[in-house]
Amino acid sequence: MKGTHRGAIISSGILLGAGLGGFVDGILLHQILQWHNMLSAFRPPTDLVAMKYNMVWDGLFHVFTWLMVSAGLWRLWLAGKRADVPWSTRTFVGSLILGWGLFNFVEGLISHQILGIHHVHPGEAQLAWDLGFLASGLVLMGLGAGTIRAGRRDSTPRGGYTLGTRPSHA
Amino acid sequence: MDFGFHLFAMLLPLCVIAMIAFAFEKLASGRQPAHVPALDAPHSGDSAGSERQAAHREEPT
């Protein structure tokens, strides 16, 4: 074996974390709390037609977050078939957290600040909510990057035992 | 017109994140610290490793 490729785990984790973070946003903020919808700044859901319009776009958003989760799962499956990918829990969990943070930060920056298609909690304090959402992204990104870094020396192959040790059941 | 812009606005963050994910893959691969032993343990698809594991099991204790 010439080298290790933990990048395959990291990209899988980021895709999965971002997709699951998108589901948290869509399910919690769009549906359960009903703070905003995908296009609620363009077309506020003040009547049934506008609600249905936003509902369609919320559904499309969930379609693409579902595709992102599927892509992450597929890449994780491919990574699991490779002998040169260290099967590190810290790397994977850190990547999930990093992906969630990336979703909050990138989506917050583009959708809330640059394009303004919706805000986290519209109203007088919407800027504070938007900045808090961005801050949550930065915190999660830092936490994820730290966890990935903590696992940078992990070399456990898939199967759960390290080189030179014998599994107890063997 | 509106549909195109709305679709663009919805997809842009997700595409940026996907690009960042693949950039991380390129950056992180092959940058394992030098003192970490290379992975060469028994693994599905690693026939050499499987042979070594089988030989290891057959050693008298």
DSSP string, B1-61: -HHHHHHHHHHHHHHHHHHHHHHHHHHHTT---TTSPPP-S-BTTBHHHHHHHHHHHHS--
Q: Residue B51 burial by CB count (10 A; 0-12/13-18/19+): exposed, middle or buried? A: exposed
Q: Which residues of B19-30 are buried (b: 16+ CB within 10 A; e: fewer)?
A: ebbeebbeebbe
Q: How far apart are CA A148 and CA B50, in angstroms?
A: 29
Q: What is the pLDDT of residue B25?
A: 87
Q: Which of A3, A22, A106 sits opposite B38 (nearest CB)?
A: A3
Report chain B's mean pLDDT, rounded to a whole number: 68
Q: Do B9 and A65 touch (CB under 8 A)?
A: no
**HSE-CB of B31 using CA atoms within 13 angstroms:** 13
Write out pLDDT tens, residues B32-54: 554 455 454 444 444 444 444 44
ipTM: 0.86
SS3 A50: helix
Of the pLDDT bands very low, low, confident and very high (cuts 50, 70, 90), residue B31 is: low
Task: Write down the residue that tokens 């663009």 correspond to.
Answer: B8
Q: What is the pLDDT of residue A97?
A: 98
Of the pLDDT bands very low, low, confident and very high (cuts 50, 70, 90), residue B8 is: very high
Q: Do B17 and A170 touch (CB under 8 A)?
A: no
Q: What is the pLDDT of residue B27?
A: 86
DSSP strand E in chain A: where? none
Residues in chain A with CB shorter than 8 Å from the CB of B39 are: 1, 4, 83-86, 155, 157, 163
Q: Which of A15, A83, A103 sits opposite B45 (nearest CB)?
A: A83
**B51 in reach of chain A (CB within 8 A):** no
Q: What is the pLDDT of residue A160?
A: 61
Whole-number Cα distances in Å, B46 to A153, A161, A166, B7: 22, 15, 17, 44
Q: What six digits make up the tokens of A147?
A: 């966890």
Q: What is the pLDDT of residue A61?
A: 97
Q: What is the pLDDT of residue B43?
A: 47
Low-confidence ranges of chain A (pLDDT < 50): 1-2, 170
Q: Do A7 and B27 touch (CB under 8 A)?
A: yes
Q: What is the pLDDT of residue A25?
A: 97
Q: What is the pLDDT of residue B48?
A: 45
Higher pLDDT, B59 or A77: A77
Higher pLDDT, B40 or B18: B18
**B42 in reach of chain A (CB within 8 A):** yes
pTM across the whole model: 0.81
Q: What is the pLDDT of residue B41?
A: 47
- A contact residues 42-101, partner B, Cβ 8 Å cutoff: 42, 57, 60-61, 64-65, 68, 71, 81-86, 95, 99
